[in-house]
Each structure stands twice: as C-alpha cells, then as structure tokens.
Structure 1
Amino acid sequence: MPCIAYNSGYKYQLKEPYAVTLEIRPVVPIDTDYVKLDGDGRLSLAKGYAWDGPSGPTIDTLSFMRASLVHDALYQLMREGHLDKARTRELADRILRRICLEDGMWSLRAWWVYQGVRLFADPAADPAARRPVQRAPKGCRA
C-alpha cells in the first residue's frame, strides 16, 4: 500500500515568499528547500514554508507572527546543523525580540518573550529535536 510522508507540529504556512536581512551572516551560504541564508544576512523563506508560530504560554498576535517565523527558521537551521547553535542562538533570540518590538508588541511583553526563549527554548535548537518523518496509513510501504 502506498503511503504519505509528513512532519507534524506546524500551524502556519507561508502563502508568499518572505525575505529579511539579519545580523547573522554565515561564511558559506545556506540553501535548503524552504530556507536560504546568504553571506550578507539575507534570510529568504519560500512559499509553503511551515512553522508552529509563537510557542509557550502566549497568544498568537499579529505583533508576534513575523518574529516567530524568522525565529523558527533560524532555529531550524541550527537543528539541521547549518548554523552553530553556540554562536547563533542568543543572536536569534535577540532578533526575535527586535522584530516583536518593530511590529508593535509592548516592550514588557517583548522582554517576557525574550526571557522565555532564553530560559526554555534551547532544546528546540538542538539537532536531537529534529522532527521525524511520519508515514500513513499504518503499515504502508515507503
């Protein structure tokens, strides 16, 4: 029986490509199916990129959506080994806070968001946290 292969855990999907220039500049450009990051810090996300939105005890507001998108993409690049977690994670968390503020989030909430990712998000950037490919229906052959 044929099966489908998928990853679970995503809530949102880009309907148009999105790009932004960041302070993270890899020595070697990163080019995956949905995420690209060049040496000038230009992060490009392809139409169809999926992410889980704001995480933790929070609500998904407009002032948090773009920041969660960029942050999730950067953490994905760390999980996949394209970016060094030890050198990149803190900067990715600061970028999250900056974009939240740019998009109108109250400064106290942005501070709280930043503290949350600093204290609790480390495992999400770990390569061991990669989402496994799942297959359906039960008993199907790849």
Structure 2
Amino acid sequence: MIKYKQRRSYKYNLHSELVYDTGLSVKAPIANSFLEISAGGRLVIKPGYAWDGPSSPAIDSKNFMQGSLIHDALYQLMREEVLPQSARKRADEILKEVCLQDGMSSFRAWYVYQGVRLGGANSAKPDLLSAP
C-alpha cells in the first residue's frame, strides 16, 4: 500500500522567515523543513514555503498576502492532523486580524472572514490518500 497526496500549484514562495503567535495549543511541537509550531502555538514559517495566496474570487493584494500565508500554513497543519479541526475558527480569525493589521478595510476583512468560514472547511480536512 502507498500513501500519497494530490498537489496543487502554488503561486508564491516565501523568501524570509515569518513568526506569528497563534494562541493555539499543540499537544506536541512539530518542525519540518518549512513549518514549526511550538506547544504554545508559536508558528514559524521558513523561507522556501510555498502557498497559493488568497483563494478565488479574492484579489491578491499586499494587505492580503501575510494573512493568506499564515492561514494556509495553519490549514496545512490541520490537514496533516497536527492541529485539530477545532483550530479552524481561530485560523480564520487570525486571517482577518492580520489582514486588518496590514491595512485591509474592515468591510473587506469581514467579507474575507465570512468566505473562509462558509467555504473553508474542506480545505482543512486531512488529505492523505491511499491505494493498494
């Protein structure tokens, strides 16, 4: 039996480290080539990490990039079952908070938040497949 994941194309590649305190709790800290999260929720995204940016129909604006990066990393950790599915609400809140901090209008940040709350659940579900 093999285990595999379907890949999608990524639009962006990180060239500087990003550190963000998520406020999430993790049973055991993890670290790989591109992501680390401590037991206390300190997320480190390392250079070389690739992500697809804001999801359609969103516009890839500068005030959306950092939020989409953190959000994508947190959703990846949920897909890999490092974070529980219950962390999705906090991940979505972080997206909104970071977008607001980066200068996004309140209305657009609200709209973005509503979009991920309504349509993001499948993107956070584990994606490991298997075949005989």
TM-score, normalised via structure 1 length: 0.82
Question: How far did 1:59 drift?
Answer: 0.4
Percent sequence identity is: 47
> How far, CA to CA, are the matches of 1:7 and 1:127 in structure 2?
13
The 10-residue stretch of structure 1 (19-28 or 41-50) with the greater mean CA deviation from structure 2: 19-28
> How far, CA to CA, are the matches of 1:62 and 1:78 in structure 2?
25
Name 1:92's counterpart in structure 2.
91
Question: How far did 1:20 drift?
Answer: 1.3
2:30 corresponds to 1:30: yes
Alignment RMSD (CA, Å): 1.6
Question: How far did 1:90 drift?
Answer: 0.6
> How far, CA to CA, are the matches of 2:78 and 2:87 in structure 1?
8
Which one-letter code corresponds to 1:120 in the other structure? Answer: G
- Report the 3-state secondary structure (helix = DSSP H, G, I; strand = E; otherwise coil) of the residue aligned with 1:20: strand
Unaligned 5+ segments in structure 2 are: 1-5
Does the Cα contact within 8 Å between 1:25 and 1:37 map onto a contact in 2? no
Which one-letter code corresponds to 1:16 in the other structure? Answer: S
Name 2:52's counterpart in structure 1.
52
Unaligned 5+ segments in structure 1 are: 1-5, 132-142
| Count of matched residue pairs | 124
Runs of 4+ in 1 over 6 A off after TM superposition: none
Name 2:3's counterpart in structure 1.
none
> How far, CA to CA, are the matches of 2:29 and 2:96 in structure 1?
25
Name 1:80's counterpart in structure 2.
80
TM-score, normalised via structure 2 length: 0.88
Question: How far did 1:52 drift?
Answer: 0.3
Name 1:101's counterpart in structure 2.
100
> How far, CA to CA, are the matches of 1:12 and 1:23 in structure 2?
26
